[in-house]
Amino acid sequence: MTTSVSKVYLLEMATGKAVEAELHDGVTEQQLEDWETKWFPVLFARQQQLVRTGVPLAGWSQSRQWSWRDKMARIECLLAYQTFCIVCECVTQGMIQIDMTKSARLDGQSGKPLVYIEYLEVAPWNRTELGQQAKFGGVGSILMRAAVEHSVNEEFHGRIGLHSLPQANDFYGNTCGMMDLGPDPDYENLRYFEMTPELARSFLDNGREP
Amino acid sequence: MKLDVTKKWCLEMARREGDAEVGAGLLAFDPEPKEPAEGTDEVHRHDDPHLAFGPLIALLRRRHGLTIEKLAVNADVDPGDLVSIERDPHYTPEPRTVFQLARVFRLPNKRLMQLSGLAVAKDARFRQAAVRFAALSGSIEALSKEEKTMLESFIKFLSEEEDKGR
């Protein structure tokens, strides 16, 4: 499988320095191997630590049940789905899977096609469970940018939608500037967020005030 | 798709993102939705097959000589979930956890979903068999001969019921 590669930058949180990385157009076997051999052992070790320290399940990583191998198998050969990943220091730092068959829900946009983010996850060392420092910052933003740019390329004008994991509501509502349509009873009561073409332009231009 | 993004944009967004959690997507996939049967309510009933789920997993784990951590690795599930399954009769696990346990122990997924409380068992015979199993299962460390017999019988019953449903 041939993938397109774009140069991007991550923020090394310990030093505050920019680190060159790659956005790959597609999740390949290499990413699945990284997930199995690099992400999973870290996740498992953290979960053991969470058990030992008595942290209730509500405080655990909310994507801990995900299997990217299953997710990729489910969309194999389906043209309506697309994936992207970020690679830095030869290791997968984050992955996203998007679906081009869904429609917008917001007033004024309802029924128009959008890019729906089925799954977005960053590597466990880029998260801060148990108080440790994340290694790289910006992985989520670049994956979101890939989804928005894909929406533009598909002539969906930057419209995207997603169901946020509870701990990530602030990122989508405030950092990405998406509209919060509230809990969705059909999707495990996760909050549904949507980005209009105007909000997408603002996100791409990085012109929004924090 | 080639992305034309500046270093400035990446770093500005990285600073705004900080160490925020950014995950998106359903917590679980392929769940068999929990639909209360007509005339029942959501509270646990005295004949709730859910009562048998924890004892069944505990006995199977012990029969295979597995610790909770080892089973968690084999099934690719959270050890914390397994602790809750075995010790809390009111705990409802994630659908994926049940699916993984069904795979590891070669049990019919549909029946295990019903035992776990994620799906509703509507036939009285199944419910009664599950509760009888729960009532008879003990908590001793090694499986007794009686426990082994009881476990084998219940697994056989689950598999037969699954075959009938096809």
By the 8 A CB rule, do B130 and B121 touch? yes
Which of A146, A96, A157 has its CA nearest to residue B3? Answer: A146
Model-level pTM? 0.65
Beta bridge partners of B33: none
CA–CA min distance A108, chain B (Å):
24
Return all residues near A49 (Cβ < 8 A) that are at least 6 apart.
A130
Selecting from B2, B3, B21 the residue whose C-beta is nearest the C-beta of A171 gives B21
Which residues in chain A (40-99) have CB-CB distances under 8 A to chain B? Answer: 44, 47-48, 50-51, 57, 60-67, 70-71, 74, 97
Cα–Cα distance measured from residue A130 to residue A147, given in angstroms and rounded to the nearest whole number: 30
Along the 166 residues of chain B, how does pLDDT read in single tens digits?
888 899 999 999 999 998 888 999 986 533 333 444 444 444 344 456 677 888 888 888 888 888 888 899 889 888 888 888 887 777 888 888 888 898 888 888 778 888 887 777 667 777 777 777 766 665 444 567 777 777 777 777 777 766 665 5
Q: Which two three-digit tokens encode residue B102?
A: 């069904």
Name the A residues in 122-161 with CB < 8 Å from any B CB. 122, 127-128, 133-134, 137-143, 145-146, 149-150, 153
A159 backbone dihedrals φ, ψ, rounded to 5°: -65, 130
- Token pair, residue B57, equals 């997993």
Interface predicted TM-score (ipTM) of this complex, two decimals:
0.90
Q: Which residue of B has its CA nearest to A97?
A: B25
Among chain B residues, the shortest Cα distance to A169 is held by: B22
Q: Do B1 and A25 touch (CB under 8 A)?
A: yes
